[in-house]
Amino acid sequence: MRIALVAPLVTTIAQPFVGGSQALVADLAMGLVARGHEVTMFARAGSVVPGVHIEPIAVPAQVLPANFSSTSQTSVPDPAFFVQANIFLELFLQLRHAPFDIVHTHAFDWPAFTFSALVQHIPIIHTIHLPAVSAEINQALRTLHQHGHLLTLVAVSQACARDYEPYTPVDQVIYNGLDLAAIPFAPNTPEQAPLLFAGRIAPEKGVEQAIEIAEQAGYPLLIAGGVYDEDYYTRRIQPRVQQAEGRVSYLGSLTHADLWRLMGQCRGLLFPIAWDEPFGLTAVEAMAAGTPVVAFNRGAAAEVIRHGETGFLTAPGDITQAVVYTHQLPTISRQYCRQHVRANFSLAHMLDEHERLYARLHGRQNA
């Protein structure tokens, strides 16, 4: 099939990836190409995905990732919103008559949802990688549904799909998948192996909570991830790292290969999320490496992690119980963590689900 993938435009699609949605769209593109499909990715200029044809989109530097810790309040759009809106408008106007069988969008932006409705002769799919944190997008999805459910919506978890039920039905849930052959498995770790936090440095990811858990538990903590919220990092995280005097180390952004190797060397991954995480790719990556996870039970955490089998779930914000569970991590079978990912979150299964969805929508469009 001829497939157009519209990537998030707020960052480039290149390693080291800023977040899970960027990694997912790259893996999806490469997997579809390997299966013989003709894939064109529309992505911010500077994006690089091996083997995938990219149509670069010039995006001004003023267009930055959203601050999800403050999107619960409706605010007046800044000039960058209109800049990006016009970019999406032009893109979808061009796609109306483009030679594609499917247009699959991964951008979580108001204009990406609304302007994609202009494309009427090609099936439009949106994968939703975020919880219902934007009142403006929620209302747009409600309106689009009321006018004939103009978009096919895919969520990355049942929890994410439920989050949108007040606004629109979600058509399908497709879990993110990993190529386990690329992730080295570590069957053992030293008794005093460090804990790990992996993810973008932003309030909703729970970086501060991870530092607190590690310090109370008495284990060193490694932090891996790009600085997504510069002000949050400067005010809240950098001082804590400096005060820890070597017990907490910030490693910056890592490539997939370096991150997966590091995961296998750690006692456990801390996943103390401060929002309703729609999936939790880093938790799945850690388990694929054999590393169990201690997580706050929010969003899709209970769909991804099996309590007592691949890690532990605590009530949201329960740092005391999380500390207790860090000492119990050696009771978790690292081999079972790997098996759990293989059985439920493989790249092959994710690609199968997408191919079936594409074929069904393409067949319906041409019936």
Return the residue matching tokens 């207790």: 324
Integer CA distances (angstroms), 165 to 72, 148, 170, in order: 17, 16, 7
**pLDDT greater than 70 at residue 69:** no
Q: Quote the pLDDT of residue 75.
A: 55
**Mean pLDDT score of the chain, rounded to an integer?**
94
How far is residue 188's CA from residue 112's CA, in Å, rounded to a whole number? Answer: 45
Angle between helices 20-34 and 347-365 (to 10 degrees): 70
Quote the pTM value.
0.93
**pLDDT greater than 90 at residue 277:** yes
Q: Quote the pLDDT of residue 73.
A: 46
Say which amino acid occupies 140: A
pLDDT per position as a tens digit, 178-227:
999 999 999 999 888 999 999 999 999 999 999 999 999 999 999 999 99
pLDDT per position as a tens digit, 85-133:
999 999 999 999 999 999 999 999 999 999 999 999 999 999 999 999 9
pLDDT per position as a tens digit, 7-50:
999 999 999 887 889 999 999 999 999 999 999 999 999 999 99
- Residue 221, helix vs strand vs coil: strand
pLDDT per position as a tens digit, 327-362:
999 999 999 999 999 999 999 999 999 999 999 999
Instruction: HSE, CB side, 13 Å, CA atoms: give it for residue 309.
Output: 11
Q: Quote the pLDDT of residue 364.
A: 84
